[in-house]
Amino acid sequence: MAGLLFLGINSAFAEPLYVGSYGGSTEQAMRDEIIPAFLEEHDAEIIYVAGNSTDTLAKLQAQRGDQELDVVLMDDGPMYQAVNLGFCSPMQDTAMLDDVYDIARFPR
């Protein structure tokens, strides 16, 4: 199981949006399907940073206090570590969260 965390995204995208996620087929799906669909609705620039979950967690730790990554997709274990290390902002309560499965919500 993987988790998706939004690390303090503003609604206006004045700067590029950095997305840290898996490489391989996940990266290809993101580049072919998900990112283009997102860009159809939002005026943004996406920088995709491929890596496995432990690589992404290491990047978050190395960037402590000056995070570059805005959104990350990681496996459960590293995701729980990222939450517990304080790298993640709570998601704003919006209608879109009604569609998120309870299992995808991390306790605070």
Q: Give pTM, 2 decimals.
A: 0.75
- Tell me which amino acid residue 92 is: Q
Instruction: Kindly report, residue by residue over 56-86, the tens digit of the pLDDT.
Output: 999 999 998 888 999 999 998 999 899 899 8
* Pairing mode of beta strands 46-50, 71-75: unpaired
Query: What region, left, alpha or beta, does residue 5 occupy, with left being phi > 0 and alpha being psi -120 to 50 degrees?
Result: beta
Taking the C-alpha atoms of residue 9 and residue 28, their distance in angstroms, rounded to an integer, is: 23
Domain 2-104 bears CATH identifier 3.40.190.10: yes
> pLDDT band for position 52 (50/70/90)?
very high
